[in-house]
Amino acid sequence: MTEKVINLPIVFHFHQPVDNHPWVIEDVYKKSYEPLINSLFQFPELKFTLHFSGNLLEWLIENKHETVLLIKQMAKRGQIEIIGGGYYEPIFSIIPIRDSIAQMKKLSNLIKAEFGLIVKGTWLSERVWEPNYPSFLCEVGYKYVIVDDNHFRATGITEENTLYSYVTEDEGKSLRVFPINEPLRYLTPWRPTHYSIEYLRNIADEKGDRIALLISDAEKMGVWGTTHQICYVEGEGHQEGDDGKPFIPTFFQHLVENEWIKSLTLSECVKKFRAKDLVYLPTSSYDKMEEWALLTPIRKKFAELRRRWKDDPNKQVEYMFLKGGFWRYFLVKYPESNNMHKKMLYVREKLVLLENMLHEKSNSTKYQEQIAQIWDEIYRAQCNDCYWHGLFGGVYLQFLRFSVYKHLINAENLITSMNKEVKSLPDNYISIIPMDFNKNSKEDIIIESEILNLYINPSDGGTIFELDYKPKSYNLLNTMTRWREAYHDNYENRSEQVMIDRFRRSMLRTRIFKDIQLNELYNDKYEEFGDLINGEYEIKKTEKSDSSVLLDLSFNGLVRDPQSKEKISLAFEKIIELRNNEIKIIIKGAFRTIPNKETVLKRILEDLYLGIDFPFYFNGNPDNFSWESYQVLFKEDTKNSLIDTFEYPGIHFKAIDGDYNLSIEFQIGNESKKELDAVKFFKFPLIAYTFTDEGYKQIYQGVNMLSRFKLKKNFEYKINLKIS
C-alpha cells in the first residue's frame, strides 16, 4: 500500500512598521525573532521560506550580526529561501505601480547582496490582492505569490481544493498562486503539536501532490500574549500531549520524525508540482480584514451574520460566498487615513514634475542621488500599518501617523530645495492652490509657504485639517478623531471611557452651545444649536502678495432658539491669513433681522455661545508637554500638565512640546475689553478608547483647545496663532 504524503512549506513573515519604537523592536527580537531563527537553524533537515520587510532587515543587518550570520548559513546550505515584496510593506493597490516595482526591486537587491539569494516569490502586505497584480509582479521577476484561502472561497473553490497551487494571469503574464492553509494557521501555536500533526495526517493522500501552506507572522511565535512561553520555555508549553515542552522545537521534531510530511520551500513546490488549474481571484484580503474595512453600522451586522453561519452546517454554501468589505474603503472610513494617502500622492506628484524637468537638462545625472533620497522618503510613508485599523492599533497609533507626515514633509522640503537650485526660485515663497485634494469632488485649499502648510476643507465646516511646520517636518494637526467602532458596543459599562466624536477633529470647527460644563465638550455630548459646525462654506475671496495669503470663507448658517426651536439666519465668515510663521484668523458674524422675531434673537444672544476648536498634536513624551498663560498663575509645586482638563477666562494660551522644542501660541485680541472679558478657554485631551491585540487601550491623540465667545447680533473676533 502506498504511504500517504503531505507537502508542508512553512513561511515566517518578519515585519515592523517604519519608525516603530526601538525598544519595541528590541523586545520583539528577544522574545520572537532570535529564538525562532535559532530554532530554524537547529533543524537543518527542515526547509523554510522567510520574508522580511526591508526596514526590519536593515535593522537586523545593522544590529544583530550573529542572527544575520545564522540566516546566511541557512541560505548557503539550501535550507531557506527568502521571498520579496514591497521594501517598506506597502499595500500595492493604493500606491502607483511604478512605486510598487521600485520597492520590490529594492528589497530583492538587498536580499541578493546580503544573502546571495535570487528572489522568486512575494509576500503581499495584509494579503491584499487585486486582479491586476500579476502584470506588475511578473515584471519584477516573481514566479509565485502567497494569498489567503479566503480569496479562493469567493470563486467557489472548496477547502479541500485549496490544498494545491493554481495559476493566474493578467495581461497574459502568468503567476503561480499558493493559498494559505487556514486550519494550520489557527492550530499553531495555540493548540498542542499533535493537533497539527493529526490534521496533516487527515489531509495527506497517496498521490502526494497536496500542499498545506503554513504561514505565520514571526511575532505570533513569541510576542502575542503568552506565546514566548508556549513556544520556547521548557515546562511552559502545552501540557496536553506535549508535557509542557516548548511548541516550536517540539513541532519541528515531529516534522523530522514523520517522514510522510515533506518539508520544502515554495520554489521547490513550483518546480515539483504543476498548478492544479487556472484561477481568477477577486479583490480580497483575509476574512477579518474584510470585516474591519466595513463602516461601523454595517460591520456589526456583518460580524453577527458571519458568526451565525460559520458553524452552521446548513449554511456552509452561503458562508463560502459571504464577502465583507474592500481594503481601500479604509480611506473612506477614516478621513485621517485618506489624508495621509492623498498627501503621499500629492508630494509624489511634485517629485515626478521635478524629475520630468530635470530629464530635459543636460546635467540631470548630478541630481540622481538627491532624487533617490526623496523617493525613499515617499516609500517610507507608504508603509501600510497606520492606514487601517483592526486587531492592531493601526491608524490610532499616533506615532506611526507622525512618521508618515515626517517623511512626506522631509520629501517636500527636499523638493523645494532642489526647485530653488534648478529654477533659481527666491528663498521665501508663498502660494495658494485650489484643488480636490481629498478626491471627493469638492474643492480644498492648500496654502504653502517656506515655514507652514495649511490644508483647508471649505465643504467640512471651513476647517483646517493639516498644519505642517516644515522646519521640523511636523504636522501639528496629526490628531485622530474618536470614531465610533463596532467593538465599543460590547463595553457600554465603560461609557465614561468610550468618548465618541460627531465630527472630525479639525481646526476652526465652529460650535454653538449653551453655557455648558467642560466635561460636556470633552465627551462631545452637548446639544448643538447651529449648522456652522459642518456646513459647506463658500470661498468668498483669495488674496496673495509676496509675503502673505488671505482666504475668506463664508456661510449662511442657521442658529436655533433653545426654547422655541425657531431658527435665525446668521451670515458667518472665517478669514484666514498666513504670514511667515503666524496665522491670523478673523471670525465674523451678523444675525439677520426678522420682523416679529426680536424675542427669538434676544434669547439666542442671551443663552448661546460660539465655540472655535483648535486641536493640535504633539509627538514627544507627554511628560514633557506643558502649557502656560500670562493670565494663569501656577503654584510652584504644581505641574501644568498639557493633557489634563482645564478651563479659565482668558485670551492667551501657549503649549510646548519639550522634546521637539516646539510651541504653538494663541492670542485673542479685540479693541473692546468687555468683549475680551467674556472669552474663555476650555482645554482637554483627545483620548481614543481603542481595542488592540493587547486588549483595550486609551491612546492619546492630541489636545483640543476651544475658545468660547459670547454671541452678539454683530460680532468680530481675532485670533493669532504663532508656531515656533
What is the rounded distance in angstroms from the CA atom of residue 310 to the CA atom of residue 312? 6
Give percent of the chain above pLDDT 70: 97
Q: Is the pLDDT of residue 186 over 70?
A: yes
**Nearest C-alpha neighbor of 603 from the set 568, 636, 632, 629:** 568
Range from 101-105, 160-164, 362-366, 395-399 carrying the lowest mean pLDDT: 362-366
- Please tell me whether residue 22 adopts helix, strand or coil conformation: helix
Q: Do the domain assignments include residue 583?
A: yes
| CA dihedral of 398, 401, 406, 407, whole degrees rounded to 10 | 150
592: containing domain: 486-723
Mean pLDDT of the chain: 93
Question: Who wins on pLDDT, 429 or 409?
Answer: 409
Q: How many residues does the chain have?
A: 724
What is the rounded distance in angstroms from the CA atom of residue 437 to the CA atom of residue 675? 38
Query: Tens of pLDDT along 264-302?
Result: 999 999 999 999 999 999 999 998 999 999 999 899 888
Q: Do the domain assignments include residue 493?
A: yes
**Residue 28 belongs to domain with CATH number:** 3.20.110.20
Q: Which of 125-129, 298-302, 594-598, 635-639 has the highest mean pLDDT?
A: 125-129
Give 678's pLDDT tier (boundaries 50, 70, 90): confident
Q: Do the domain assignments include residue 404?
A: no
**Residue 499 belongs to domain with CATH number:** 2.70.98.10
What is the rounded distance in angstroms from the CA atom of residue 459 to the CA atom of residue 436? 11
Query: Tens of pLDDT along 30-89?
Result: 999 999 999 999 999 999 999 999 999 999 999 999 999 999 999 999 999 999 999 999
Q: Is the pLDDT of residue 630 over 90?
A: no
CB 468 within 8 A of CB 475: yes
What is the rounded distance in angstroms from the CA atom of residue 620 to the CA atom of residue 354? 33
Q: Is the pLDDT of residue 671 over 60?
A: no
Q: Which residues of 212-233 are buried (b: 16+ CB within 10 A; e: fewer)?
A: bbbbbbbbbbbbbeebbbbbbe
The burial class, CB within 10 Å (0-12 / 13-18 / 19+), for 69 is exposed
Predicted pLDDT at 424: 72
What is the rounded distance in angstroms from the CA atom of residue 693 to the CA atom of residue 374? 34
CB 339 within 8 A of CB 468: no
**Nearest C-alpha neighbor of 722 from the set 664, 636, 682, 646:** 664
Q: Is the pLDDT of residue 1 over 60?
A: no
**Nearest C-alpha neighbor of 586 from the set 511, 669, 710, 672:** 669
Predicted pLDDT at 323: 85
What is the rounded distance in angstroms from the CA atom of residue 723 to the CA atom of residue 469? 8
- Please tell me whether residue 426 adopts helix, strand or coil conformation: coil
Q: Which residues of 167-198 are buried (b: 16+ CB within 10 A; e: fewer)?
A: bbebeeeebbbbbbbbbbbebbbebbbbbbbe
Give mean pLDDT, residues 492-508: 84
Predicted pLDDT at 450: 92
Predicted pLDDT at 120: 97
Sign of the CA dihedral running 522, 528, 532, 533: positive
Distance between the two ends of the chain, CA-based, in angstroms? 81
Among the candidates 263, 285, 307, a domain finishes at 285
Give 392's pLDDT tier (boundaries 50, 70, 90): confident
Query: Tens of pLDDT along 118-136?
Result: 999 999 999 999 999 999 9
Q: Which residues of 124-142 are buried (b: 16+ CB within 10 A; e: fewer)?
A: bbbbbbbeebbebbbebeb
Question: Who wins on pLDDT, 491 or 227?
Answer: 227
Query: Tens of pLDDT along 506-553?
Result: 999 999 999 989 999 999 999 999 999 999 999 999 999 988 999 999
Predicted pLDDT at 493: 56
DSSP state of 281: P
Q: Do the domain assignments include residue 156?
A: yes
Q: Do the domain assignments include residue 330?
A: no
Q: At which residue does the C-alpha cell 498666513 appear?
A: 578
In single-letter form, the type of residue at position 126 comes to: E
Q: Do the domain assignments include residue 335?
A: no
In single-letter form, the type of residue at position 716 comes to: E
Among the candidates 257, 285, 313, a domain finishes at 285
Tally DSSP H helices, then E strands, for the chain: 22, 28
Cell readout for 60 is 537586523
For the chain, how many structural domains are there in total? 2
Cell readout for 286 is 483575509
Q: Do the domain assignments include residue 708?
A: yes
Among the candidates 285, 302, 331, a domain finishes at 285
CA 216 → CA 116, 189, 252, 708, distances in Å? 24, 10, 14, 53
Q: Do the domain assignments include residue 62?
A: yes
What is the rounded distance in angstroms from the CA atom of residue 83 to the CA atom of residue 218? 14
DSSP state of 635: P
pTM of the predicted model as reported, rounded to 2 decimal places: 0.95
CB 668 within 8 A of CB 676: yes
Predicted pLDDT at 590: 96
Query: Tens of pLDDT along 340-381?
Result: 999 999 999 999 999 998 887 766 677 899 999 999 999 999
What is the rounded distance in angstroms from the CA atom of residue 156 to the CA atom of residue 173? 23
- Kindly write down the DSSP assignment for every residue of 77-114, as one continuous string: TT-EEEEB--TT---GGGS-HHHHHHHHHHHHHHHHHH
